[in-house]
Amino acid sequence: MGKIFTILISTILVNNYVFAQFLGICPFLGVSSKVETSTGMGVAVTFVVVLSSAITWCIQYGILDKLGLGYLQTIVFILVIASLVQFVEIVIKKMSPSLYTAMGVYLPLITTNCVVLGVAVLNIQENYNLIETIFSGFGASVGFSMALILMASLRERLDYAEVPEALKGVPIALISAGLMALAFSGFKGLI
């Protein structure tokens, strides 16, 4: 139980994939302009990461390792992730067309989101068992979602702040992201 708690705290705060490892920056900057869109993307990424973590773990240890096909890991993992993203895209399009439109091109980009593939590969490299893999995927996606929502909240507030003309838009977003990453580095002493 202690190791699972450590994995959760580590993936959410200490080794946050956005703020500490700088993975998933494209959707982080692209979708984080509104809290509603960020929340939707966070839920979609959470679903994909947790499920892909479990499925890729099973495929790695149940098929690839047993057949000596470890060199196919990246291709197989991307196929699993792409299939899950297609499923999520169909569900969101059916259940919430406005969210689907708001997420635009960033929803299919979950397939190439470095966080999703990174979590799947790192779970294998860390030799986590299936339960640890699921919690690692959940923690990583919660950390990613938290980063998205924090950034969206900040960007919404910055729309009403007096920002010098040269810093409006993307420049102030990048500065804010850098400051949040710096703040998250303070969690390094936790684990």
Q: Over the stretch 167-179, which tens digit does the pLDDT of each residue have?
A: 988 899 889 999 9
What is the rounded distance in angstroms from the CA atom of residue 20 to the CA atom of residue 13?
9
Q: Over the stretch 134-184, which tens digit does the pLDDT of each residue have?
A: 999 999 999 999 999 999 999 999 888 898 999 988 899 889 999 999 988
Q: Over the stretch 96-125, which tens digit does the pLDDT of each residue have?
A: 888 888 777 777 777 767 889 999 999 999
| Nearest in space to 43 (alpha carbons), one of 83, 97, 99 | 99
The answer to whether residues 11 and 143 touch, using CB atoms and an 8 Å cutoff, is: yes
Q: For residue 129, what are its two tokens?
A: 């068992």
The answer to whether residues 184 and 16 touch, using CB atoms and an 8 Å cutoff, is: yes
